[in-house]
Structure 1
Amino acid sequence: MITMDTVGLWAERLIVGNSRPWLCRRATGRTLEIAVGTGRNVSFYPPDVELMAIDVDPGMLDVTRRRAAAAGRRVALGQADAAALPYADESFDTVVCTLALCSVYDRAAVLAEMRRVLRPGGRLLLLDHREHRWRQAHPADLALRGGFVAEGRRRLWFGLIERLAARRP
């Protein structure tokens, strides 16, 4: 499987720039990272963030576990489907998802789950691809249609990558 880890750091820096630290440094309080993958974001979170992360792939969680240990970062990891999060309503201050919504079948359902687990006033932080195959909407557009309120939105790499910081009202 090709991941951003196999593409290489130089390519990621070129394509997404400083987006990982830009997003993760905005996380506060109890934070959930959706589809953590290989844990590329772990070292960018502020030290006072209580970090939890999920992924459907146990192999990815193993890589994240090793990466978090190497960074000296505590992360509560769990195997879960982003479309059916195993958390109570309004249980997180921040939800982060980077470069993963592009691989989800029902992006609207996943975004609805993100909204459900965020407390009112909580922050959604997204980084994802913009693809022409998404006739209904791109991830950031779906988030805004789903009731989130944009705080910051920026397109990168000729508009193919987009990052969004938004709040749940």
Structure 2
Amino acid sequence: MVKRESARRAWDRRAAGYDRAGDRMERLTIGDSREWICARARGRTLEVAVGTGRNLSGYAEDVELVGVDLSPKMLAAARRRAGLLGRRVELHEGEAERLPFPDASFDTVVCTLAVCAVADRAAALAEMRRVLRPGGRLLLLDHAERRWLRGRPADLAARLGFVTEARDRLRLGLIERLAARKPA
């Protein structure tokens, strides 16, 4: 509980300047990866750790968006961005390790540049699997971190039974994106 509150406060503090700080670095490091992820989303889509809503403009109009984030201030920024874009999105406060949704309620689950910030990555990926419908798609984008020595997010997803459709490593393997399916 203390760890979660500490993380929430840290993300709340970063919310106001988060987009400005990341724009240039993202262009240099992840290139078109947000577009790569969003183009593959279909149907009812959950974005875990939606943050300030940086991906909202990348989804097709017919994608029904739901976002969850630990930080109320990040969610407020996402809500503002959705309003500016004229994009409907249902936003919820919650933890990646305990998603506040019923089993098998999404066609797609997206998580970009956030698995690294989750305390229990295996639990978060297990929750993503739980809320996906059979045959649903998991879309991940992440960057290198020390914990990758114990398994990259894509490897953890495979251990949970996801079937890889596409897995790309960019920037000398420092960036990885994954499209995988939950077996039907």
Q: Which residue of 2 aligns with 1:61?
A: 75
TM-score, normalised via structure 1 length: 0.96
Residue type at the aligned position of 2:120: D
The one of 90, 113, 133 equivalent to 2:104 is: 90
Q: Distance in 1 between matches of 2:107 and 2:41?
A: 8
Q: Which residue of 1 aligns with 2:48?
A: 34
TM-score, normalised via structure 2 length: 0.88
Q: Distance in 2 between matches of 1:13 and 1:141?
A: 26
- Find runs of 4+ consecutive structure 1 residues off by over 6 angstroms: none
Q: Deviations over 1:26-52 (max 9, x none)?
A: 100000000001100000000001100
The one of 112, 117, 120 equivalent to 2:134 is: 120
Q: Deviations over 1:96-131 (max 9, x none)?
A: 000000011100000000000000100000000122
- 1:1-169 residue pairs with structure 2 within 5 A? 1=14, 5-169=19-183
Deviation, structure 1 residue 132: 3.2
Residue type at the aligned position of 2:156: L
Aligned residues: 169
Residue type at the aligned position of 2:24: W
Give the unaligned 5+ runs of structure 2: 1-13
Residue type at the aligned position of 1:66: R
Q: Distance in 2 between matches of 1:94 and 1:133?
A: 25
Q: Percent identity?
A: 64
Deviation, structure 1 residue 9: 2.1
Q: Report the 3-state secondary structure (helix = DSSP H, G, I; strand = E; otherwise coil) of the residue aligned with 1:65.
A: helix
Residue type at the aligned position of 1:79: E
